[in-house]
Amino acid sequence: GQNIDQPTEMTATEGAIVQINCTYQTSGFNGLFWYQQHAGEAPTFLSYNVLDGLEEKGRFSSFLSRSKGYSYLLLKELQMKDSASYLCAVTGGYNKLIFGAGTRLAVHP
Amino acid sequence: EAEVAQSPRYKITEKSQAVAFWCDPISGHATLYWYRQILGQGPELLVQFQDESVVDDSQLPKDRFSAERLKGVDSTLKIQPAELGDSAMYLCASSFRTEGSGELFFGEGSRLTVL
């Protein structure tokens, strides 16, 4: 089976840095995704990690440690539009993608 | 830019009625997914197709839900009869790859309200 844990809610200030953690347990592992979802909208792709280490893409970075079953999403220079839910998702066999419950991030001025 | 098309965007129905959702994936994407997302929760996989075949439907409530992808292109998800607890966003997604790192592309979703 698969289990994904991430904090339910986080708050941060505009211009700051925030780190959203995700821990997972899975019987098979083909990679970890982070998706962003604004209220009432569909999820959109942010990042993909399959090897250990840090992947950087603009203001967003994602880290993976397969031995620890741990990932984080790092958001820098926060903007108001970054207020959204951030979904951690793990892939198993047959490209099956299982999502965590998501972390609701509120960015304040 | 290619998109995953879903319809209807919004559906209001009474319990015990039948409801159907349609999805047209990005052209060439062999894998199609239906997810259900209850407000405040993450998406839950209902069914996954590889071409016209079901790869995983372990979380699909088969007594009332059915899904098909007859020609391996577009897909329909049906609920009959609808129950109050079925109120949710139904998301369709597609992926090019069948194994490994295939990014999922989501449609805008169909929001169902059961009264």
DSSP code at position B63:
T
Nearest to A50 among B101, B104, B107 (CB): B101
Judged by a CB distance cut-off of 8 A, whether residue B55 touches chain A is yes
Q: Which residue of A has its CA nearest to B38?
A: A101
pLDDT of residue B81: 97
pLDDT of residue B11: 97
- Report chain B residues whose CB lies below 8 A from the CB of A94: 48, 50, 55-56, 98-99
pLDDT of residue A96: 79
| Nearest one of B4, B8, B54, B49 to B24, comparing CA atoms | B4
pLDDT of residue A30: 82
CB atoms within 10 A of CB B4: 22
- Listed as ranges, residues in chain A with pLDDT below 70 are 1, 93-94
The residues with which A31 forms a beta bridge, in sequence order, are: A91
Across chain B, which has 115 residues, the per-10-residue mean pLDDT values are 91 97 94 94 94 92 95 95 96 79 87 97
Q: Tokens for A51, please give them.
A: 């090897």
pLDDT of residue A85: 97
The 3-class SS string of A1-30 reads CCEEECCCEEEEECCCCEEEEEEEECCCCC
Q: Which residue of B has its CA nearest to A43?
A: B106
State the first-to-last Cα distance of chain A, in angstroms, to the nearest integer: 41
Do residue A48 and residue B101 have CB atoms under 8 angstroms apart?
yes
pLDDT of residue B44: 94
